[in-house]
Chains A and B, each alone.
Chain A
Amino acid sequence: MTAESRTLVLVDDDRDFLEMNRKLLEGRGYRVRCFTDPQEALEAIRELRPDLVVTDLMMDGLDSGFSLARSLKQDPHLGKTAVIIVTAVAGQRGFDFSPEGPEDLAAMNADAYFDKPVSPQALLAKVEELLA
């Protein structure tokens, strides 16, 4: 399957991260849709059936990124969607979200986890790995 046929959804309340990741991933031929609101993103995802979602944890609703990931994994139609969580909250407010192994990732309903900012090479490599 070529990159062109893959759809990626990016969710982040910071426009800069959406824009830079869109440039990176579109540059590699992926179709990319961006959302700042996790609720809107979830609705669009149900329609778009993307291959992969990159979501921020978003501090507003503390677990809005987690609940988005959970909704995806629990949805029988979307359970195969790969989820990458990228966040700046690691180590903040006494929470340490950094998963240490596959069990932690599974508990987060995620396939990969990055602390912001993730290097473009690392993000791209992870996307390619998950979609391989």
Chain B
Amino acid sequence: MNEEAVRLLVVDDERGIREGVRMILGAEGFDVVTAEDGQAGLEAFDSQGPFTVALIDLMMPRMPGLELLGHLHQRDPDLVVIIITAHATIDSAVEGTKRGAYSYIPKPFTPDELLLAIRNGLERRSLALEARRLRDERESRLLEVASERSKSTTILKCMTDGVLVINLEMLVVLRNDAAARIVPGLAARPVPFALSELTSGEIRESIVDVLEGGGPQILMREVSLDEHTYMVNVSPVLDSEDRISGAVAVFRDITALKALETAKSLFVSMVAHELKNPLAATEGWLNLLVSDLVKHDPQEERHMIERSLIRIKTLRTLVSELLNLTAIETGNFSLRRAPVDVARITREAVESQRERADERDIVLTLSGRGEGETGMVLADRDALQMIIANLVDNAIKYTPEQGHVSVRVEQNGMYVRVSVQDDGIGLAPEDTGKVFDEFFRVKNEQTASIPGTGLGLSLVRRITEMHEGSVCVESAPGRGSTFTISLPLS
């Protein structure tokens, strides 16, 4: 202990004592402050503190020593208080030690007695402080452990993955709320319970494999429970010496992932099928052409080549539509939007289909608002022209020769509408809801020879929706169809 730093307050009404103590302790390196009565002592403590040691006389004017002791202890419980007392007041001094004074020295005292008492007091004080520091530290660590535990418990409780902990005695010793929800029959069962009570054999086996395997391996398997699919992950719990002391099973719901996986395989399978048909037809025609099994006829051969070309064109369209669709799905189909005159785009789209209409003797007309007669729409002009051309192309395909396809541009409130009406074969009521689905194609006697990919209208819907617009269809079998795109004005 560095005695230079020790400040000491002497409160005594006898000047001789005050000065004597100042002399003795000052020489020993103490920093001594004196006061001549209880009140002055309290004031000095408050104004000149902090002090480590106080020497207090019991019999003093204004404030007796015991009262001062009470005040000082209230201010600093660690203050080392030593009572200086005459023989006559030994009983009071004893009372003082009961109230927290460290000790008392009867007057008169020698310098050695004084120093010994002070040093003992300081030593006890430092022991007490050290003990308290240790106690505080232990308490704060306990608090920390308690709060860590409550954190882990909260995290486990809030996890969406189910967690089971199993010990070497094959007892389930912990399950979180998610596990209770996921694993049938677990909600009502208090832990611990025997692993053998788990109804799912697959889960039991995995856990037993890990516990008995003894190695660090982690088992993963898909398990179906109550129409959900879970990825169950069982890993060993190893102690500090890498010995297995239990197992943790984590259940993750992968139902949605599995559904996506199924949808993806179905999509791939449908694409493959749609690719294979036109390829097989083309190959079939070319096989026949080179086979020498049909008699040589230039007109017939030309027909076979033309049919092959039509199927190849379908293939090419399918591939580019698939690429567009993929681009939309992956967010790589970026629209370059600028103010667009829909009437003008529509005219261009209609003109691009004029030749096809003429080939089939179909009357293709454009009516309604002309260029500059509607508000502008914020759109990607190429994408917009593609989908309008797609609707016109569809109308021409599904309308018998000498039919009519009429395209009309209208403005209705805050929307511009483009409608494509035909008097073709129309759609059955059960099909109208499906025409915008990927790969949906109406297959019947009338459509059998019409090439198509089943992706065109799906692209129309997606691109329209990317423009915050909508597309709808009205149709009746034998009376034709009307497809209408509505786009918001900018």
Please judge, given known A-B contacts A89-B273, A93-B269, whether A37 and B281 are in contact too, CB under 8 Å.
no
Query: Chain A, 1-42, contact with B by CB distance < 8 Å: what is the 0/1 string?
Result: 000000000000111110110011001100000001100100
The answer to whether B281 touches A14 (Cβ under 8 A) is yes
Given A27-B293, A120-B293, check contact A20 B285 (CB 8 Å): yes
- B448 in the interface (beta carbon within 8 A): yes
Q: How far is the CB of A128 from chain B (nearest CB, A)?
A: 12
Residue count of chain A within 8 Å CB distance of chain B? 28
Q: DSSP majority for the B interface?
A: helix
**Would you call A59 an interface residue if the criterion is a C-beta within 8 Å of the partner chain's C-beta atoms?**
yes
Evaluate whether A13 and B443 lie within 8 angstroms (CB atoms) in the complex, with A20-B304, A28-B293, A120-B291 already known. Answer: yes
Contact of A119 among B266, B287, B304, B445 (CB under 8 A): B287
With CB as the reference atom, state the residue of chain B lying closest to A116: B280
B311 touches A16 (CB 8 A): yes
Question: What is the bound-complex CA distance between A121 and B377, given in angstroms?
Answer: 58
Shortest Cβ distance from residue B389 to the other chain A in the assembled complex, whole angstroms: 25
CA distance A124 to B294 in the complex (A): 12
- Identify 30 residue pairs between A and B in the complex whose beta-carbon atoms are under 8 Å apart, listed by A's number: A14-B448, A15-B448, A16-B307, A16-B311, A17-B280, A20-B281, A20-B284, A20-B304, A23-B288, A24-B288, A24-B293, A27-B293, A28-B293, A59-B273, A88-B273, A92-B273, A93-B266, A93-B269, A93-B270, A116-B277, A116-B280, A117-B280, A117-B281, A117-B283, A119-B287, A119-B291, A120-B288, A120-B293, A121-B293, A124-B293
Give the 4 A-B CB pairs with smallest separation, nearest first: A15-B449, A117-B284, A16-B281, A116-B280
User: Is residue B276 within 8 Å, beta carbon to beta carbon, of the partner chain?
Assistant: yes
- Is B273 in contact with A94, judged by CB distance below 8 angstroms? no
Known: A14-B277, A88-B276. 20 other contacts (CB 8 A): A15-B449, A16-B284, A20-B281, A20-B288, A24-B291, A27-B293, A27-B294, A27-B295, A36-B445, A60-B443, A92-B269, A116-B277, A116-B284, A117-B280, A117-B281, A117-B287, A118-B284, A119-B287, A119-B291, A120-B293
| Contact assessment for A24 and B294 in the assembled complex, using a CB-CB cutoff below 8 Å | yes
Tell me, yes or no, whether B240 is within 8 Å of chain A by CB. no
Q: Chain A residues with Cβ under 8 A from B283's Cβ?
A: 117
Interface residues of B in 438-457 (CB under 8 A from A): 443-445, 448-449
